[in-house]
């Protein structure tokens, strides 16, 4: 690494992992004037940032040694393990933005603390083009020590927004994965919709805004209603579209898939869950009861 003297007042940052996301993050700290030390398993990706002002470390240990605040943006928890194996973490503030499970995040927090580091976990709710673009609305969920989060809040807020979700180090990952899981459910619905029109003389480009607007119109009131009912336990007040009517309607949706020569494999599991709920209810509620059908032992 080249020895340089920085006059910056900004917090020095070390960043390990320069994939698509790590590289986007790195550029925002460089632009904001933070002294930035980078390391990547494939050195070329780190070296590409040198002309923009990054210090390139020859090893993960060297990158960690360069700053108190050390960020990780690696593929998965196994790559974090490999990267930091044998590296001295004493006195470091480790912020792990790698997508993991909540249990992996909790174990990683304990692992870091055993090695003398403080630990924050992060779950990135943005794709690389949203990084450094405040109006794009990207943010990172953080969990773990609130004190540590507050200490580094300003630096962490450089690439995207920050949303702190609690002292439990697993909560950032849990929020992240919950939102990503919902996203895939939405993609499944959209995929099925496009399949239905696929063989017809319907322009997908004209269809797309109809689909997008409908999903947007449905989702906000629906998640708000579900949350309110889960808290109150009252599943039948203010029901707009009752379960009995919705289950009856699923027959039309399945028949249409059949007519259009489309597999119903993406939507059938949800319809099965709705039927199970109807079997044990009056049908006057809406879909909130399906939440607890999914939760085992509840």
Q: Return residues touching ligand FVH (CB under 6 A).
A: 17-22, 40-42, 45, 73-76, 79, 82-83, 98-99, 124, 127-128
Rounded to the nearest whole angstrom, what is the least distance from the CB of residue 19 to ligand FVH in the complex?
Answer: 2
Name which of 17 and 132 has its Cβ closer to ligand FVH: 17
Name which of 98 and 242 has its Cβ closer to ligand FVH: 98
Rounded to the nearest whole angstrom, what is the least distance from the CB of residue 175 to ligand FVH in the complex?
Answer: 13
Residue 50 — φ and ψ, nearest 5°? Answer: -60, -45
Name which of 92 and 192 has its Cβ closer to ligand FVH: 92
Q: How far is the C-alpha of 245 from the C-alpha of 105, rounded, in Å?
A: 42
Residue with the CB atom nearest ligand FVH in the bound state: 19
Rounded to the nearest whole angstrom, what is the least distance from the CB of residue 85 to ligand FVH in the complex?
Answer: 10
Name which of 180 and 293 has its Cβ closer to ligand FVH: 180
Rounded to the nearest whole angstrom, what is the least distance from the CB of residue 261 to ligand FVH in the complex?
Answer: 33
Name which of 128 and 283 has its Cβ closer to ligand FVH: 128
Please state the three-class secondary structure of the chain as a single string: CCCCCCCCCCCCEEEECCCHHHHHHHHHHHHCCCCEEEECCCHHHHHCCHHHCCEECCCHHHHHHHCCEEEECCCCHHHHHHHHCCCCCCCCEEEECCCCCHHHHHHHHHHHHHCCCEEEEEEEECCHHHCCCHHHCCEEEEEECHHHHHHHHHHHCCCCEEEECCCCCCHHHHHHHHHHHHHHHHHHHHHHHHHHHCCCCCCHHHHHHHHHHHHHHHHHHHHHHHHHHHHHCCCCCCCCCCHHHHHHHHHHHHHHHHHCCCCCCCCHHHHHHHHHHHHCCCCCCCCCHHHHHHCCCC
Name which of 70 and 243 has its Cβ closer to ligand FVH: 70
Rounded to the nearest whole angstrom, what is the least distance from the CB of residue 238 to ligand FVH in the complex?
Answer: 35
How many degrees, rounded to 5, is the angle at CA 273 between CA 271 and CA 276?
115
Q: Nearest to residue 28, comparing CAs of 157, 146, 212? A: 157
Rounded to the nearest whole angstrom, what is the least distance from the CB of residue 205 to ligand FVH in the complex?
Answer: 24
Which residues are within 8 A (CB) of 165 and not within 5 positions of it... i.e. 6 or more apart?
Answer: 141, 142, 143, 171, 172, 175
Rounded to the nearest whole angstrom, what is the least distance from the CB of residue 113 to ligand FVH in the complex?
Answer: 21
Name which of 42 and 90 has its Cβ closer to ligand FVH: 42
Rounded to the nearest whole angstrom, what is the least distance from the CB of residue 224 to ligand FVH in the complex?
Answer: 25
Name which of 45 and 192 has its Cβ closer to ligand FVH: 45
């Amino acid at each position: 690494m080249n020895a340089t003297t920085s006059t910056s007042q900004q917090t020095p940052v070390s960043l390990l992992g320069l994939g698509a996301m790590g590289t986007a993050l790195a550029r925002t700290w460089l632009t904001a004037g933070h002294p930035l030390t980078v390391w990547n398993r494939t050195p070329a990706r780190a070296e590409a940032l040198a002309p923009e002002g990054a210090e390139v470390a020859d090893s993960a240990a060297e990158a960690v040694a360069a700053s108190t605040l050390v960020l990780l943006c690696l593929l998965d928890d196994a790559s974090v393990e490999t990267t930091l194996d044998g590296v001295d973490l004493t006195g470091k503030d480790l912020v792990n933005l790698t997508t993991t499970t909540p249990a992996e995040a909790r174990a990683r927090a304990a692992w870091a603390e055993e090695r003398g580091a403080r630990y924050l976990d992060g779950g990135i709710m943005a794709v690389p083009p949203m990084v450094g673009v405040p109006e794009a609305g990207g943010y990172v969920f953080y969990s773990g020590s609130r004190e540590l989060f507050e200490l580094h809040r300003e630096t962490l807020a450089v690439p995207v927004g920050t949303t702190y979700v609690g002292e439990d180090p697993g909560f950032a990952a849990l929020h992240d994965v919950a939102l990503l899981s919902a996203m895939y459910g939405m993609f499944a619905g959209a995929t099925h919709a496009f399949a239905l029109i696929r063989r017809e003389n319907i322009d997908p480009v004209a269809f797309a805004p109809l689909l997008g607007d409908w999903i947007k119109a449905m989702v906000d009131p629906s998640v708000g209603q579900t949350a309110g009912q889960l808290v109150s336990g009252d599943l039948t007040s203010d029901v707009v579209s009752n379960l009995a009517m919705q289950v009856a309607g699923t027959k039309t949706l399945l028949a249409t898939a059949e007519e259009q020569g489309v597999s119903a494999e993406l939507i059938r599991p949800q319809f099965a869950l709705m039927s199970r709920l109807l079997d044990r209810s009056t049908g006057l509620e809406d879909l909130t009861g399906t939440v607890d059908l999914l939760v085992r032992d509840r």
